[in-house]
Amino acid sequence: MIELLTANTPNGKKISIMLEEINFKYKVTKVNINKDEQFKPEFVKLSPFRKIPVIIDHENNQSLFESGAILIYLGEKSGKLYDNDNRTQINQWLMGQMAYIGPMLGQHHQFHHYNPGKSKFGEERYFKISERIYKELDERLSSSEYLAGNHYTIADIATFPWIARHEWHDIGLKKFKNLTRWYKLISSRPAVQKGFDLLKKNEKIPEA
């Protein structure tokens, strides 16, 4: 059984979606990041950067931090969504999400959504970068059904919850027809819908 220690964020949703897709038994242990529970010593032992999510695989007493590493681990353990013959391509798009898409959209959230009016420079900078991310993803998806090729993989799972905050971004998802197609395709998956509702509060995926 997998224990998922997490909060209701895009990075947290990646793992619950993956666990639903591979049909692994799991339980969610909520980490209240608004009350700094990620800084408690028992959590820091599992996650040295004080970040969610973390999983504990109680089958072998293995714990992992960093959402990308967790997705790879679960892909390897399940033999699903991390194809042996396409791992180089999958890894590139997964690392792109980890190093670029997530951090930059996260900064956009901070300046545009949570703290508007505090820094014109920050708002304009991260809006432009986020808009560019939408354009780059749209360009990729003009020639590929999914990010890493013609099959749904952990690269799509990693990226989807960040685009699912498109209403926060105010960029206009509908302006990007290929990204919208991909978003709707993934949104229609029952496992994604179930995993997106991480805290089981009937949370729905925002419409495109």
Q: How far is CA 14 from CA 91, 100, 146, 194, in A?
A: 15, 16, 16, 12
112-138: pLDDT as tens digits: 999 999 999 999 999 999 999 999 999
The DSSP secondary structure of 50-74, one letter per residue, reads: --S-EEEETTTTEEEESHHHHHHHH
Q: What is the pLDDT of residue 145?
A: 98
Q: What is the pLDDT of residue 160?
A: 98
**Tokens (6 digits) for 87:** 């791992």
Q: What is the pLDDT of residue 35?
A: 96
AA identity, residue 31 = V
Sheet holding 62-65, edge to edge: 26-30, 2-6, 54-57, 62-65
Q: What is the pLDDT of residue 43?
A: 95
Q: Which residues contact 205 (CB under 8 A, 6 or more apart)?
A: 164, 187, 192, 193, 196
- Assigned fold of 84-189: Glutathione S-transferase Yfyf (Class Pi); Chain A, domain 2 (1.20.1050)
Provide block-wise average pLDDT over 10 residues at a time, the chain (208 residues).
97 98 97 95 96 97 97 98 96 98 96 94 96 98 97 98 97 98 98 96 96
CATH of region 2-81: 3.40.30.10
Q: What is the pLDDT of residue 29?
A: 97
Question: What pTM was estimated for this model as a whole?
Answer: 0.96
Interatomic CA distance for residues 147 and 137, integer angstroms: 8
Domain residue limits, the chain: 2-81, 84-189
**Tokens (6 digits) for 154:** 């952990």
Interatomic CA distance for residues 197 and 195, integer angstroms: 5
**Which of these, 42, 32, 158, 150, lies nearest to 105 by C-alpha position?**
158
